[in-house]
A and B are shown apart, each in its own frame.
Chain A
């Protein structure tokens, strides 16, 4: 007679089969299990974020706001300095009548800072919350920027996620060649900090004999050309930076060489127009990530905000650079803390090896169960197969990632999933040996076995949950498959097989215990 347990099991089985089809036949549409990087090949990187750079540049911008504000209000001040190590900005005002005005300005116009005044000497500092916020912004911005770059590059399903306070996890599956991998790596890590800087024409003649410290004393920096290595003496405060850029595209110059054309926003265009108007005859350097790409002579005022970088790029370089510029610079530079790259052929080998192990292990267990338990073993095997489908289906629905340890987890689940049925079958056998009827043996067998299976599975689940919470990547995958396997096995082994027994128990014959349960009759 059909019963609710069999019906639940049948539904579970159908559910399992239907939802694992898309994953088993990779061509089908629908939710699929994603293969981990170790199985399909790809690039995994854990990036550290240099927060301190973001904080330093924030302090710099606070310092320039102070200068702008005071100039605007015609407050006379002196010795504006930023200590880059501590982030403390100090200055001195000359007129004590200005104190009230200065205090008001600092309070109303600057956000996230504290300041103190002593004998006309001021010191300004970012608040702890502001520092935290800046750090958080820097990493959030880095995540967005990197994601934007990878999406523009046109890759299938890259993952970019924040990890902890100051790390970013990047996973790019399915990279086919070493060159692609290299390009992607450079694209991700590129700061893409664009600056247009004026050449210090008065002193540049001496650039080759000048030390960095001397350049600094004039408020200048020395940077070199990306191709020729030629040194330039540039004014430290840039005319413009990449934040005023609205678009960057690959174009071609008169010699059909790839160049990058970029467009500035209204404010940028105005500053650029004004600057070129007063700098005719001088040079302006296009600087990207502290390297000079070109330093053309300004022949006339350039309005409209269209600027070009040329620098003997290959087509690919120009393309990647344009992406990086479009998606913005990284507020805080990133560096690679951990990198794992797996070639696609190795991934395929791993799948093959563990599939062989999975199939072999499975066949062994299935055969053993039938030999040992007879029909009871066949029923246990039905539960086992149901279990396998359920794991695949649930993983597909979650969009979970299957990794190599995850596959091992499935293999192990196969070994352990029969456990519940072994416990139940042993209990049934015990009761049959005591001479109980088949119906009674089955019912009591399930009742007696239940607490053991329950307690054992819950404790294992506790371990798996901890593993999931604390694990990274591969371990998480393993914990996930194991947890799903345990839960699925409770359903298939306790509910499913019980239902099957109840369904077919009228057909069971006490004289054929060898066939049904693999034992000789009662004593």
Chain B
């Protein structure tokens, strides 16, 4: 079976402006959402407690709310169904420190007489100080990962490739964050992991395309970068689509069957796979053009490099023969 049969290059770069505008709109909308509506910070970053309770029957949410509201410490706690009718999750800013005893024990004590109560299945409590530390560490991880990538790609390709791939990354992560805000996904450590995975995934995709462009510069006779990009992107198109499809299948099964706890994580990945694929085709390469990457210059540099290597070899040979 074949999805794309390579006939002649698609003329993608002639539409670069349109994709640029689309991306701009998406990124700006995402930034707007992030700065106006803001993240729904989960307890990992904001501190607080999440308690998951299981019932034998449909959980009596109103009763639970009433019981909790009798206590000052739990006023304003959110109580929602969690995946199924028998499970609820209680979220509160309160932590064990505020109630002077273990918060899990106290909630169990409060709820044990509610209709059909079975057990407290999970208690996650994070102090506010830990939360802010995690937030700093997470941000630090992102920044460091990006610096590492910049250095590696500059070293292996050229600095414009590095900038373009990192800009594509930021594009993807920003849009993913925008979707997280739009759908009020709770941001916890696993969401951070998902964002970092998107970073890795989208990068993977972009590098594959860039590798083809680098190869194209050497082998395709065309002097014009747009033509080389068109050809390279078209040639990698079936690979990009295929890999995205297999990854998409897997993430989709994770989203559909992975259970409620991992829902936010798989949702973020789902967005990431789609945006990551789009950006490696339509965003990364136009940025390369826009940054003024010159084919001639690259070729001259490559030739220079080749020449230097040859010279070195010649010197070595001469040295070995004792003629130096």
> Which A positions have Cβ atoms within 8 angstroms of B?
38, 46, 48, 178, 181-182, 185, 335-343, 345-346, 349-350, 353-354, 356-357, 360-362, 364-365, 368-369, 371-373, 404-405, 408, 411-412, 414-416, 418-419, 422-423, 426, 429-430, 433, 448, 451-452, 455-460, 462-467, 469-475, 478-479, 482, 518-519
Say yes or no: A456-B211 contact (C-beta < 8 A), given A339-B124, A343-B122, A361-B249.
yes
- State the majority secondary structure of interface residues on A: helix
- Could you tell me if A416 and B122 are in contact, using CB atoms closer than 8 angstroms? no
**Cα distance, A316 to B140, chains bound together (Å):** 46
Say yes or no: A341-B247 contact (C-beta < 8 A), given A354-B254, A371-B1.
no
Q: B121, B189, B203, B238: which contacts A460 (Cβ < 8 A)?
A: B203
Closest chain-A Cβ to B131's Cβ sits at a distance in Å of 9
- Could you tell me if B137 and A364 are in contact, using CB atoms closer than 8 angstroms? no
Closest chain-A Cβ to B121's Cβ sits at a distance in Å of 4
**Cα distance, A517 to B248, chains bound together (Å):** 23
Q: Which residue of the partner chain B has the closest CB to A167?
A: B130
**Cα distance, A415 to B255, chains bound together (Å):** 14
7 CB < 8 A contacts A-B: A181-B104, A339-B104, A345-B119, A404-B190, A455-B207, A456-B203, A472-B134
- Could you tell me if A361 and B250 are in contact, using CB atoms closer than 8 angstroms? yes
Say yes or no: A357-B212 contact (C-beta < 8 A), given A337-B130, A412-B247.
no
Given A415-B251, A426-B239, A459-B152, 19 more pairs with CB closer than 8 A = A38-B261, A339-B125, A357-B253, A364-B246, A368-B249, A369-B246, A411-B258, A412-B197, A416-B201, A419-B246, A423-B239, A433-B6, A452-B211, A458-B152, A459-B204, A463-B149, A472-B134, A473-B189, A475-B190
- Could you tell me if A456 and B249 are in contact, using CB atoms closer than 8 angstroms? no
Tell whether B310 is near chain A: CB-to-CB under 8 Å. no
- Could you tell me if A357 and B258 are in contact, using CB atoms closer than 8 angstroms? yes
- Could you tell me if A408 and B258 are in contact, using CB atoms closer than 8 angstroms? yes
Q: A178, A185, A336, A419: which contacts B204 (Cβ < 8 A)?
A: A419
> Which B positions have Cβ atoms within 8 angstroms of A?
1-2, 6, 52, 54, 96-97, 102, 104-105, 108, 119-127, 129-130, 134, 137-138, 140-141, 144-145, 148-149, 152-153, 156-157, 189-190, 192-193, 196-197, 199-201, 203-204, 207-208, 211-212, 215, 235-236, 238-239, 242-243, 245-251, 253-254, 256-259, 261-262, 265-266, 269
Closest chain-B Cβ to A510's Cβ sits at a distance in Å of 17
Q: B123, B134, B149, B246: which contacts A340 (Cβ < 8 A)?
A: B123
- Could you tell me if B140 and A470 are in contact, using CB atoms closer than 8 angstroms? yes
- Could you tell me if B129 and A412 are in contact, using CB atoms closer than 8 angstroms? no
**Cα distance, A260 to B105, chains bound together (Å):** 28
**Cα distance, A18 to B273, chains bound together (Å):** 34
**Cα distance, A466 to B1, chains bound together (Å):** 39
- State the majority secondary structure of interface residues on B: helix
Q: Which residue of the partner chain B has the closest CB to A461?
A: B200
- Could you tell me if B262 and A404 are in contact, using CB atoms closer than 8 angstroms? yes
Say yes or no: A338-B126 contact (C-beta < 8 A), given A343-B119, A419-B204.
yes
- Could you tell me if B257 and A360 are in contact, using CB atoms closer than 8 angstroms? yes
Q: B236, B243, B259: which contacts A349 (Cβ < 8 A)?
A: B259
- Could you tell me if B243 and A472 are in contact, using CB atoms closer than 8 angstroms? no
Say yes or no: A456-B204 contact (C-beta < 8 A), given A411-B250, A518-B2.
yes
Q: Which residue of the partner chain A has the closest CB to B96?
A: A336
Say yes or no: A519-B2 contact (C-beta < 8 A), given A185-B102, A412-B197, A472-B134.
yes
- Could you tell me if A341 and B129 are in contact, using CB atoms closer than 8 angstroms? no
- Could you tell me if A368 and B105 are in contact, using CB atoms closer than 8 angstroms? no
Q: B190, B239, B242: which contacts A405 (Cβ < 8 A)?
A: B190
Closest chain-B Cβ to A392's Cβ sits at a distance in Å of 17
- Could you tell me if B190 and A460 are in contact, using CB atoms closer than 8 angstroms? no
Most B CB contacts (10 A, CB to CB) among A182, A372, A462 go to A462
- Could you tell me if B130 and A46 are in contact, using CB atoms closer than 8 angstroms? yes
Instruction: List B contacts of A426 (CB < 8 A).
Output: 236, 238-239, 242
- Could you tell me if A466 and B204 are in contact, using CB atoms closer than 8 angstroms? no
Closest chain-A Cβ to B43's Cβ sits at a distance in Å of 9
- Could you tell me if A361 and B254 are in contact, using CB atoms closer than 8 angstroms? yes
Closest chain-A Cβ to B144's Cβ sits at a distance in Å of 5
- Could you tell me if A408 and B262 are in contact, using CB atoms closer than 8 angstroms? yes
- Could you tell me if A418 and B246 are in contact, using CB atoms closer than 8 angstroms? yes
Closest chain-B Cβ to A41's Cβ sits at a distance in Å of 9
Which 6 A-B pairs rank lowest in CB-CB distance, beginning with the nearest?
A: A353-B259, A415-B247, A361-B250, A415-B250, A470-B141, A452-B211
Instruction: List B contacts of A457 (CB < 8 A).
Output: 204
- Could you tell me if A411 and B208 are in contact, using CB atoms closer than 8 angstroms? no
